Amino acid sequence: MNFKSLINVGLIATTLLGVGCTSSANNRGYSKDAEINTKVEMLLSKMTLEEKVGQMNQYNGFYDATGPAPSDGDAKNKYEHLRNGWVGSMLNVRGAKEVRAMQKMAVEESRLGIPMIFGLDVIHGHKTLAPIPLGESASWDLEAIKKSAQVAATEAAAEGINWTFAPMVDISRDARWGRVMEGAGEDTYLGSKIGVARIQGFQGDDLSANNTIAACAKHFAGYGFAEAGRDYNTVDVGTSTLYNVIFPPFQAALDADVKTVMNSFNILNGVPATGNKWLQRDLLKGKWGFNGFVISDWGSCMEMMAHGFAADLKEAAELAANAGSDMDMESYAYVKHLSTLVKEGKVNEADIDDAVRRILTVKYELGLFDDPYKYCDEQREQELIYHEDHKAAVLDMALKSVVLLKNDKQVLPLDKSQKKIAVIGALADDKTSPLGSWRVASDDNTAVSVLEGLKNHNIKYTYAKGADVSVGDVGFQIPVTINNTDKSEFAEAIALARKSEVVVMVLGEHGYQSGEGRSRTNIGLPGVQQELLEEVYKVNQNIVLVLMNGRPLALPWADAHIPAILETWQLGTESGNAIAKTLFGDNNPSGKLPMTFPRNVAQCPIYYNHYNTGRPTGGNGVFWSHYIDESNDPLYPFGFGLSYTSFEYSNLKAKVDGDVVKVSITVKNTGKVAGQEVAQLYIHDKAASVARPIKELKGFEKFELAPNDSKLVEFELTSKELGFYNNEGEFVVEAGDFDIMVGTDSQNVSITSVTL
Ligand code: NOJ
Q: How far is the CA of 60 from the centre of ligand 1 (A)?
A: 11
Print the SS3 string covering 518-561: CCCCCCCCCCCHHHHHHHHHHHCCCEEEEEECCCCCCCHHHHHH
- pLDDT tens digit sequence for 625-670: 999 999 999 999 999 999 999 999 999 999 999 999 999 999 999 9
- Tell me the mean pLDDT in the region 256-283: 98
Judge if 449 and 590 occupy the same domain.
Answer: yes
Of the residues 603, 636, 660, the one at which a domain ends: 603
How far is 699 from 409, CA to CA, in rounded Å? 32
Residue 436 placed within a domain: yes
What is each CA distance from 493 to 7, 457, 501, 547, 580, in whole angstroms? 66, 23, 14, 18, 21
Residue 170 placed within a domain: no
Q: How far is the CA of 69 from the centre of ligand 1 (A)?
A: 13
Q: How far is the CA of 180 from the centre of ligand 1 (A)?
A: 14
Lowest mean pLDDT among 70-74, 270-274, 681-685, 746-750: 70-74
Which contacts qualify for 525-529: CB closer than 8 Å, 24 or more apart?
525/553, 525/555, 526/469, 526/470, 526/480, 526/483, 526/484, 527/467, 527/468, 527/469, 527/470, 527/483, 527/484, 527/485, 528/467, 528/483, 528/484, 528/485, 528/486, 528/487, 528/490, 529/425, 529/467, 529/469
How far is 249 from 255, CA to CA, in rounded Å? 10
How far is 132 from 129, CA to CA, in rounded Å? 8
Domain residue limits at 693: 647-755
Judge if 558 and 672 occupy the same domain.
Answer: no
The confidence score (pLDDT) of residue 136 equals 98
The confidence score (pLDDT) of residue 619 equals 76
- Tell me the mean pLDDT in the region 204-233: 98
> Which of 66, 231, 274 has most ligand 1 atoms within 8 Å of CB, for mutation?
66
The CATH number of residue 669's host domain is 2.60.40.10
How far is 78 from 562, CA to CA, in rounded Å? 56
Judge if 412 and 546 occupy the same domain.
Answer: yes
Average pLDDT, the chain: 94
Nearest CA to ligand 1 atom 4: 297
Judge if 662 and 581 occupy the same domain.
Answer: no
* 297 a catalytic residue: yes
The CATH number of residue 546's host domain is 3.40.50.1700
The answer to whether the CB of 58 is under 6 A from ligand 1 is no
Of the residues 574, 603, 632, the one at which a domain ends: 603
Taking 70 as the threshold, does the pLDDT of residue 14 lie above it?
no
The answer to whether the CB of 67 is under 6 A from ligand 1 is yes
Q: How far is the CA of 663 from the centre of ligand 1 (A)?
A: 41
Quick one: which atom of ligand 1 is closest to the CA of 219?
A: 5
- pLDDT tens digit sequence for 336-382: 999 999 999 999 999 999 999 999 999 999 999 999 999 999 999 99
Residue 101 placed within a domain: no
How far is 21 from 514, CA to CA, in rounded Å? 38
The confidence score (pLDDT) of residue 66 equals 79
The confidence score (pLDDT) of residue 10 equals 36
- Tell me the mean pLDDT in the region 388-398: 98
Quick one: which atom of ligand 1 is closest to the CA of 223?
A: 3
Taking 80 as the threshold, does the pLDDT of residue 73 lie above it?
no
Taking 70 as the threshold, does the pLDDT of residue 22 lie above it?
no
Quick one: which atom of ligand 1 is closest to the CA of 66?
A: 11
- pLDDT tens digit sequence for 89-98: 999 999 999 9
> Which of 164, 297, 477 has most ligand 1 atoms within 8 Å of CB, for mutation?
297
**Number of domains observed in the structure of the chain:** 2
**25 or 121: whose pLDDT is higher?**
121
Taking 90 as the threshold, does the pLDDT of residue 475 lie above it?
no
Taking 50 as the threshold, does the pLDDT of residue 9 lie above it?
no
Q: Among residues 418, 395, 424, which one has the least CA distance to residue 546? A: 424
Judge if 652 and 720 occupy the same domain.
Answer: yes
* Local structure of 374: helix, strand or coil: coil
How far is 740 from 682, CA to CA, in rounded Å? 6
Residue 656 placed within a domain: yes
HSE-up of 505 (CA within 13 Å, CB side)?
Answer: 32
Q: How far is the CA of 263 from the centre of ligand 1 (A)?
A: 10
Name the catalytic one among 170, 174, 297, 685: 297
Which contacts qualify for 564-567: CB closer than 8 Å, 24 or more apart?
564/404, 564/406, 564/407, 564/408, 564/411, 564/412, 565/404, 565/405, 565/406, 565/407, 566/402, 566/403, 566/404, 566/405, 566/412, 567/138, 567/402, 567/403, 567/404, 567/405, 567/591, 567/593
Residue 434 placed within a domain: yes
| Radius of gyration of the CA atoms of the chain, in A | 26
Judge if 587 and 652 occupy the same domain.
Answer: no
Judge if 559 and 704 occupy the same domain.
Answer: no
Of the residues 603, 634, 659, the one at which a domain ends: 603
Judge if 582 and 651 occupy the same domain.
Answer: no
Q: How far is the CA of 135 from the centre of ligand 1 (A)?
A: 20
When pLDDT is cut at 50, 70 and 90, the band that residue 476 belongs to is confident
- Tell me the mean pLDDT in the region 326-331: 97
Print the SS3 string covering 38-50: HHHHHHHHHCCHH
Give Dmax (Cα) for the chain. 80
Strands (E), 358-484: 403-407, 421-424, 462-464
How far is 589 from 501, CA to CA, in rounded Å? 23
Quick one: which atom of ligand 1 is closest to the CA of 166?
A: 7
The answer to whether the CB of 516 is under 6 A from ligand 1 is yes
pLDDT > 70 fraction of the chain, expressed in percent and rounded: 94
The answer to whether the CB of 121 is under 6 A from ligand 1 is yes
Quick one: which atom of ligand 1 is closest to the CA of 216?
A: 7
Residue 489 placed within a domain: yes
Q: How far is the CA of 510 from the centre of ligand 1 (A)?
A: 21
Nearest CA to ligand 1 atom 11: 66
Q: How far is the CA of 685 from the centre of ligand 1 (A)?
A: 38
The confidence score (pLDDT) of residue 19 equals 32
> Which of 516, 518, 519 has most ligand 1 atoms within 8 Å of CB, for mutation?
516
Nearest CA to ligand 1 atom 7: 165
DSSP for 309-373? S-SSHHHHHHHHHHHT--BEES--HHHHHHHHHHHTTSS-HHHHHHHHHHHHHHHHHTTTTT-TT
Bridge partners (DSSP) listed for residue 663: 654, 715
> Which are the contacts of 136, defined by CB distance < 8 A and separation ≥ 6?
124, 130, 144, 145, 148, 194, 397, 401
Taking 60 as the threshold, does the pLDDT of residue 3 lie above it?
no
Enter the DSSP assignment of 483.
B
Taking 90 as the threshold, does the pLDDT of residue 478 lie above it?
no
Judge if 432 and 577 occupy the same domain.
Answer: yes
The answer to whether the CB of 66 is under 6 A from ligand 1 is yes
Residue 563 placed within a domain: yes
User: What residue type is assigned to position 267 of the chain?
Assistant: I
Through-space distance between the first and last CA atoms of the chain, rounded to whole angstroms: 13
Quote the distance between the C-alpha of residue 26 and its chain's center: 32
The confidence score (pLDDT) of residue 268 equals 98
The confidence score (pLDDT) of residue 61 equals 86
The answer to whether the CB of 298 is under 6 A from ligand 1 is yes
- pLDDT tens digit sequence for 520-562: 999 999 999 999 999 999 999 999 999 999 999 999 999 999 9
HSE-up of 373 (CA within 13 Å, CB side)?
Answer: 16
Judge if 571 and 454 occupy the same domain.
Answer: yes
Q: How far is the CA of 236 from the centre of ligand 1 (A)?
A: 21
Print the SS3 string covering 202-257: HHCCCCCCCCCCECEEEEECCHHHCHHHCCCCCECCCHHHHHHHHCHHHHHHHHCC
Residue 195 CB neighbours (<10 A): 30
Strands (E), 47-105: 57-60, 89-91
User: What residue type is assigned to position 461 of the chain?
Assistant: Y
The answer to whether the CB of 297 is under 6 A from ligand 1 is yes
Whether the upstream peptide bond of residue 81 has omega within 30° of 0, thus cis, is: no
Judge if 555 and 700 occupy the same domain.
Answer: no
The answer to whether the CB of 296 is under 6 A from ligand 1 is no
Judge if 541 and 489 occupy the same domain.
Answer: yes
Residue 727 placed within a domain: yes
Taking 80 as the threshold, does the pLDDT of residue 7 lie above it?
no
Taking 90 as the threshold, does the pLDDT of residue 489 lie above it?
yes
When pLDDT is cut at 50, 70 and 90, the band that residue 12 belongs to is very low
Q: How far is the CA of 4 from the centre of ligand 1 (A)?
A: 46
How far is 638 from 606, CA to CA, in rounded Å? 10
> Which of 117, 118, 121 has most ligand 1 atoms within 8 Å of CB, for mutation?
121
Q: How far is the CA of 588 from the centre of ligand 1 (A)?
A: 36
The confidence score (pLDDT) of residue 24 equals 41
When pLDDT is cut at 50, 70 and 90, the band that residue 753 belongs to is very high
Bridge partners (DSSP) listed for residue 343: none
The confidence score (pLDDT) of residue 481 equals 64
The answer to whether the CB of 330 is under 6 A from ligand 1 is no
